[in-house]
């Protein structure tokens, strides 16, 4: 029975969510060879789904090899005319592609609903194998910044954050990022993106600028002499805040220096670190003010930040005082990004890395493994390039700096390493996401970054969060340009005991209602309590029995495994029973699988 046009639109709006209506047929077709892989079929399904995600001007139609339209241009033209008539649109066969598929013009630019009607007509035809939009591609030219080729952290295949792929969609426009740090020293590669900030250092021995709090966040230098700051040897000025700011929003395509991740975002320098560091009290006020809150004696902020970067920290768990300031900032709509710390230890014992409502960032080397210095653990949310200069200076993170050993001198560029360098990569990505979709909440931004991350190229003993952040995938997901329909989570909350030095135990999750294959960044959230997690081996078992190693056993003596792993499961059918398999392989400790989840 033929449904009315209005009814068909209702059907497509529902079924497009799961892409069921647009699923390609896995048979021999003109444009798809017999025996195509499951991955290829999934890619076709995703591409087809994007036909109703946005208006389109042309469609590519693949017919089954036995159809007359697969060989005859006349037949393909007549078919286009007939389907257009049924859909109430004027379709025109344009030409035959080299693969044998037909290119069909939709005439005047149609609405999403009109495109959906046409797609529905083609997919209702049993002789049609697939229909996908004729997407417009754009050149992906590298920025002309003179030092861009040295910024492996942005573009390299192994451990780069795939930033260039995000720039076609978002560049940070309309977003202010507060860099709560050492302040800002003038740099021509940053100046265009600097807006008003504040100096929150109240103690003049720390501020070393001759006064306490004021509206000038200029960095006078944080050098100290031998024997000062509890250190036997002195140190030159770090210009730390300027280096962090450059990673986030250095001017780009200006034929100079480096490229910033969110290069059209604005940076508000908020100074809290001076000689020997900075106090919690100043940092708490800085968080409050930067996010639009009121601080006694300080003028209202006219450059309220939607993202805060804090590449700073100290020993000890997050205090209630700091947590309150962070909670208030997030409630105002500001995403807070923090460094995990550089002690090669559990980040749970450091602040603000261990605070709730933050995105805590671990650092990776150029090989994609946890950097030797980076903190780790269940409180870490995500990993990003932080550099490892012990393997070569150029394996650090290049950004804006100053050559002054004590006070400011000439502007410069330098390689640094640290979770301080990893955090601004995520702050920049958060700015890109917010720029792409201004309605995103901090929780949605964090979820998007984690869900769209990819598996670590290297090892991370102890946990580095959801994986390596992927800027292109994250921005495409939040802007709707990736053809995806959003994540769906399946959870098992049934507790399973893990015997000491015994056989493996399994916890199942039945996945239903999905179309095609699992994603290349399947999120596996694990909540396991155990008194010595180094004893544990954890695997994800796909419906066909394929095993994916999530965690190997080792010498990690910390408790529990509470983290999210990213698995490339694109070769697996999504529907079916997935299992979390856990085995304790050494004596003296037991535990429990409390819950786990899969997010597609």
Residues labelled as active-site residues: 181, 240, 420
Residues 6 or more apart whose Cβ sits within 8 Å of residue 16:
22, 49, 52, 116, 485
Contact assessment for residue 266 and residue 259, using Cβ atoms and an 8 Å cutoff:
no
Token representation of residue 75 = 């037949």
Full 3-state SS string of 376-433: ECCCCCEEEECCCHHHCHHHCEEEEEECCCCCCCCEEEEEECCHHHHHHHHHHHHHHH
- The string of DSSP codes covering 48-65 is HHTTTTS--SEEEEEEBT
Beta-sheet strands, E only, within 159-275: 176-181, 198-199, 266-271
Sign of CA dihedral 550, 391, 183, 155: negative
Check: CB of residue 379 under 8 Å from CB of residue 354.
yes
43 three-state secondary structure: helix
Distance separating alpha carbons of residues 464 and 254, to the nearest angstrom: 35
Token pair for 511: 């996945």
Cβ proximity of 431 and 265 under 8 Å = yes
| Burial (CB count within 10 angstroms: exposed 0-12, middle 13-18, buried 19+), residue 149 | exposed
Checking DSSP bridges between strand 58-63 and strand 522-530, what pairing results, if any?
A: unpaired
Residue 307 burial by Cβ neighbours in a 10 Å radius (0-12, 13-18, 19+): buried
Candidates 90, 84, 118, 148; CA nearest to 9 is 118
What is the distance between the alpha carbons of residues 558 and 552, in angstroms, rounded to a whole number? 14
Q: What's the CA gap between 19 and 43, in Å, rounded? A: 12
Residue 180 near residue 309, CB atoms below 8 Å:
yes
Parallel, antiparallel, or unpaired for β 102-105 and 92-96? antiparallel
- Identify whether the C-beta of residue 336 lies closer than 8 Å to the C-beta of residue 330: yes
Q: How far apart are CA 56 and CA 48, in angstroms?
A: 12
Q: Which two tokens stand for residue 477?
A: 């997901």
Tell whether the torsion through CA atoms of 381, 383, 387 and 390 is positive or negative. positive
Encoded tokens for 31: 């444009």
Beta bridge partners of 338: 310, 360
| CB 502, CB 517: distance < 8 Å | no
Contact between 540 and 548 under an 8 Å Cβ cutoff? The reply is yes
- Cβ 371 vs Cβ 417: under 8 Å: yes
* Residue found by looking up tokens 């079929």 in the block: 41
């Amino acid at each position: 029975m033929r449904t009315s046009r209005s009814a068909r639109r209702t059907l497509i709006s529902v079924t497009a969510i799961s892409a069921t209506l647009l699923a390609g047929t896995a048979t021999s077709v003109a444009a798809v060879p017999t025996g195509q892989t499951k991955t290829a079929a999934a890619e076709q399904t995703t591409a087809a789904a994007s036909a109703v995600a946005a208006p389109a001007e042309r469609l590519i139609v693949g017919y089954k090899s036995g159809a007359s339209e697969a060989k005859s241009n006349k037949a393909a033209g007549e078919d286009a005319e007939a389907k257009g008539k049924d859909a109430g649109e004027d379709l025109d066969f344009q030409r035959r592609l080299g693969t044998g598929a037909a290119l069909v013009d939709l005439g005047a630019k149609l609405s999403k609903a009109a495109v959906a009607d046409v797609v529905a007509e083609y997919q209702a035809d049993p002789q049609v194998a697939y229909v996908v939009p004729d997407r417009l591609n754009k050149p992906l030219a590298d920025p002309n910044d003179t030092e861009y080729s040295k910024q492996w952290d942005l573009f390299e295949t192994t451990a780069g954050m795939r930033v260039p792929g995000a720039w076609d969609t978002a560049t940070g426009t309309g977003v202010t990022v507060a860099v709560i740090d050492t302040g800002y020293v003038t740099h021509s590669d940053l100046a265009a993106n600097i807006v008003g900030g504040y100096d929150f250092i109240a103690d003049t021995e720390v501020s070393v600028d001759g006064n306490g709090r004021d509206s000038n966040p200029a960095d006078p230098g944080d050098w100290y002499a031998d024997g000062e700051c509890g250190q036997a040897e002195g140190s030159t000025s770090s210009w730390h805040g300027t280096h962090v700011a450059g990673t986030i929003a250095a001017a780009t395509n200006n034929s100079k220096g480096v490229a910033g991740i969110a290069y059209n975002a604005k940076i508000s320098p908020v100074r809290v670190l001076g000689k020997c560091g900075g106090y919690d009290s100043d940092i708490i006020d800085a968080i409050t003010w930067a996010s639009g809150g009121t601080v006694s004696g300080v003028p209202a902020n006219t450059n309220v930040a939607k993202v805060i970067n804090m590449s700073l920290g100290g020993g000890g768990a997050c205090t209630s005082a700091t947590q309150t300031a962070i909670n208030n900032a997030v409630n105002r709509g500001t995403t807070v990004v923090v460094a995990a710390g550089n002690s090669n230890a559990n980040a749970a014992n450091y602040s603000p890395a261990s605070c709730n409502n933050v995105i805590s960032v671990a650092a990776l080397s150029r090989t994609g493994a946890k950097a030797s210095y980076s903190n780790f653990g269940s409180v870490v949310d995500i990993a990003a390039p932080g550099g490892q200069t012990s393997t070569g200076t150029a394996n650090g993170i290049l950004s804006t700096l100053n050559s002054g050993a004590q006070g400011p001198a000439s502007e410069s560029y330098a390689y640094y390493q640290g979770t301080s360098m990893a955090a601004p990569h995520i702050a920049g990505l958060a700015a890109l996401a917010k720029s792409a979709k201004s309605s995103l909440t901090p929780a949605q931004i964090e979820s998007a970054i984690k869900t769209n991350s990819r598996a670590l190229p290297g090892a991370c003993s102890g946990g580095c969060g959801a994986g390596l952040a992927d800027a292109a995938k994250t921005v495409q997901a939040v802007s709707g340009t990736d053809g995806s329909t959003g994540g769906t989570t399946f959870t098992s909350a049934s507790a399973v005991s893990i015997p000491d030095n015994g056989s493996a135990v399994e916890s199942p999750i039945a996945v239903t209602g999905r179309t095609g294959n699992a994603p290349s960044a399947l999120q596996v959230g694990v909540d396991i309590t155990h008194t010595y997690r180094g004893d544990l081996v954890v695997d994800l078992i796909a419906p066909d029995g394929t095993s994916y190693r999530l965690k190997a056993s080792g010498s990690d003596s910390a408790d529990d495994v509470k983290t999210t792993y990213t698995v490339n499961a694109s070769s697996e059918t999504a529907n079916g029973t997935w299992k979390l398999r856990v085995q304790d392989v050494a004596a003296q400790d037991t535990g429990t699988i409390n819950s786990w989840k899969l997010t597609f």
